[in-house]
Chain A
Amino acid sequence: MADRSAITDPVDSFTEPVIVASGLTRRFGDFIAVDDLSFTVQRGEIFGFLGPNGAGKTTAIRMLTGLLPPTHGTARVARHDVAGHPYAVRRVIGYMSQLFSLYGDLTVRENLDLFAGLYDVSGDRRRTRIQWALEQAGLEGREDQLTATQPLGLKQRLALGSAVLHGPAVLFLDEPTSGVDPVARRAFWDLIAELADAGTTVLVSTHYMEEAEYCHRLALMNRGRLIALDSPAALKASLEWPILEIRSDDSSRAAAILAGLEGVEDATMFGRSVHVVARDAAAAEQNIAAALEREGLTARDIRRVPPTLEDVFVSLVRRSGGVVAG
């Protein structure tokens, strides 16, 4: 269970946003990794960066945490200007990078001791926080084992525990669950929800759709730009055309045939079926069956389905110019 009393939040009940990004831009030579990114995040919110690889999520997080200076624009975290007061910011944030970044050659307890020391957590608080981190990571009884030998899922939770030992107001997580199995991922997100309930503001990047559903609000990013920002439900509702799900013998051929069809906005493989964005569902159903038959395929089942985040994501990314190669 979260030790809520230990969570200190300098922003507390202020209604002003905890994270303010205004016009954040980062260039690497000619390449614009993040382009004019602006948004705000409220206290206790779980705010997600969703986007394909190379969308600029990591660069954005590195600018928000003060690890990378922006080319243009400013970021304020917990009322501190990130560029002007990097150390003030570091005291009130927790950060977990993409790579597993605890020391593998240190034991579980030594890692926790290290970060408690670096975050100036001492005395009784140090003991209770380390105990809490051990419990939530499920590593009690393994304190004296080398961290490298622990399962990845537990290591990730230990890394999260280390990053919040000091009870930070804001937690930045950069694709924290990459490579972790779904069960461990679920446990990880339960922990994030718990922290947010206790008042921690969480900014997390991901490319897993089911993870995006856990976020209160989602910033969809592509090619360094913010292409949509809303709650998952609102994003799904914003899709103006209905989605048809078609089952056939050969989904990949079917998707290729349907992509060019009159009245079809978009056709994508979706597991073992094809999702089609149709301008007029009734008319499209007729056309689709006919078109597939002409190519020797049978449409076994055509029905309207509620849009998933992936549908929204795919169509928004297409509309904003596709995915960057590489």
Chain B
Amino acid sequence: MNFNRMLTMARKEVIQLRRDPRSLALGFLIPPLLILFFGYAITFDVENIELAVWDADQTQTSRRLVDAFVASGYFRVDRLTRYPAATNALQTGDALAILAIPRGFAGDLAAGRPAPLQLLVDGSDANTATIAIEYARGITSAFSRRATLNGREIRPAVVPASRVWYNPSLESRNMVVPGLVAVILSILAALLTALTIAREWERGTMEQLVSTPVTRLEIVTGKLLPYLAIGLFDVLLAVGIGTALFGVPFRGNLGLLVAMTFVFLLAALGFGMFLSAALKSQVLATQFAMVATYLPALLLSGFIYAIANMPRALQLATYLFPARYYVTITTAIFLKGVGIDVLWRQGLALVALAAAAIAATVAVFRKEVA
């Protein structure tokens, strides 16, 4: 491998990139836009749950309970006077849950009898329903703890002392932004390089290139270099946006993130280049790159759905996608601040994927011309 020839290829690629508005936009404009857009749009926090309350008790105690729901900040309460209206609200979607307080609630409580409440929840969105039930349970148990029984405080027998690490406020944005960096970069990297080799075939320039002493490895690595630089720039920009705008903590080592990003980009860019060399068509390679990176990066990376919950076969498939490792890496470096002693497995996996992608590119390339 001749270093000068590789740099010559890289320089040529940079000049072409500079004159191609489409690639420039894809490399420099789309990533920060997507981070901003998704950073604001994607949230797994459940807030402002529409709660319809039917208070048949109409006592000071029952009103205090409703106030506790309002004060929690998780619920938007709508007081209703008739029970059928409440169930109707569930059907129309005006309410996600109904809290029914039966007559005699305050009396039961004061007499030290169990005071039942009814919570009806729309379970069509299971996730939100579960969370809403949890919130309601927390509010009612706090309420019953504060309720006095014959002047004495009731103390539960077991009290778990929970502390949340890494993301103590449990804000989903802190997890979304680092993961997004990984997802967006996976898609973008493959799209950027999917064009490069196919374009040379389509324009007939490849024939001229391969008649010169430049080797396939020099072509592939020379073409990778500029995109590697763009990818690193995008990640640093994303770190800036994430910390400055979204207030996501960055607790790890920036150097480690850059090093990990480097191998991740080699794998992701290499995959796009493989498609480009194998399919020899810009349109085909772009479409393939889109399908083969977008869904896996979103669905199989552990970004949205926990890999541990997937069927075994799908779990095994996730090992093939660089996004899986990179999502772990970015979240871990951002939030946990861990080092190479924890992330070396992910690092090694990415090195292996990068080597495989580049080797495969050179291999299909050789088959087609030599």
Closest to B8 in A: A117
Contact A67 B213 (CB under 8 A): no
Contact A115 B212 (CB under 8 A): yes
Residues of A within 8 A of B5 (CB): 117-118, 120
Residues of B within 8 A of A65 (CB): 211
Beta-carbon contacts of A80-91 to B below 8 Å, as 1s and 0s?
000000110011
B164 at the interface (CB under 8 A from A): no
| Chain B positions 197-248 with a Cβ under 8 Å from a chain A Cβ | 203-205, 207-215
Contact A101 B207 (CB under 8 A): yes
Distance between A198 CB and nearest chain B CB, rounded to angstroms: 21
B19 at the interface (CB under 8 A from A): yes
Contact A103 B211 (CB under 8 A): no
Residues of A within 8 A of B215 (CB): 87
A69 at the interface (CB under 8 A from B): yes
User: Given A67-B207, A115-B212, A103–B16 Cβ distance below 8 Å?
Assistant: yes
Interface core residue of A91, A117, A119 (most chain B CB under 10 Å): A117
Complex-state Cα separation, A90 to B4, whole angstroms: 17
Residues of B within 8 A of A113 (CB): 8, 11
Beta-carbon contacts of B253-291 to A below 8 Å, as 1s and 0s?
000000000000000000000000000000000000000
Residues of A within 8 A of B205 (CB): 101-103
Residues of B within 8 A of A97 (CB): 204, 207-208, 211
Contact A120 B207 (CB under 8 A): no
A105 at the interface (CB under 8 A from B): yes
Q: Which of A67, A120, A122 contacts B211 (CB 8 A)?
A: A67
Residues of B within 8 A of A117 (CB): 4-5, 7-8, 11
Complex-state Cα separation, A106 to B203, whole angstroms: 13
Contact A66 B209 (CB under 8 A): no
Interface core residue of B2, B8, B9, B16 (most chain A CB under 10 Å): B8
B111 at the interface (CB under 8 A from A): no
Q: Which of A69, A115, A120 contacts B370 (CB 8 A)?
A: A69
Beta-carbon contacts of A96-118 to B below 8 Å, as 1s and 0s?
11011111111000100111011
State the A residues within 8 Å of B (CB). 65-67, 69, 86-87, 90-91, 93-97, 99-106, 110, 113-115, 117-120, 122, 159, 163
State the B residues within 8 Å of A (CB). 2, 4-5, 7-9, 11-12, 15-16, 19-20, 203-205, 207-215, 369-370
A-B contact pairs, 24 of them (CB 8 A): A87-B213, A87-B215, A90-B213, A91-B213, A95-B208, A96-B208, A99-B207, A102-B205, A103-B12, A103-B16, A104-B203, A105-B15, A105-B20, A106-B12, A106-B15, A106-B16, A113-B8, A113-B11, A114-B11, A117-B4, A117-B5, A117-B7, A118-B209, A119-B213
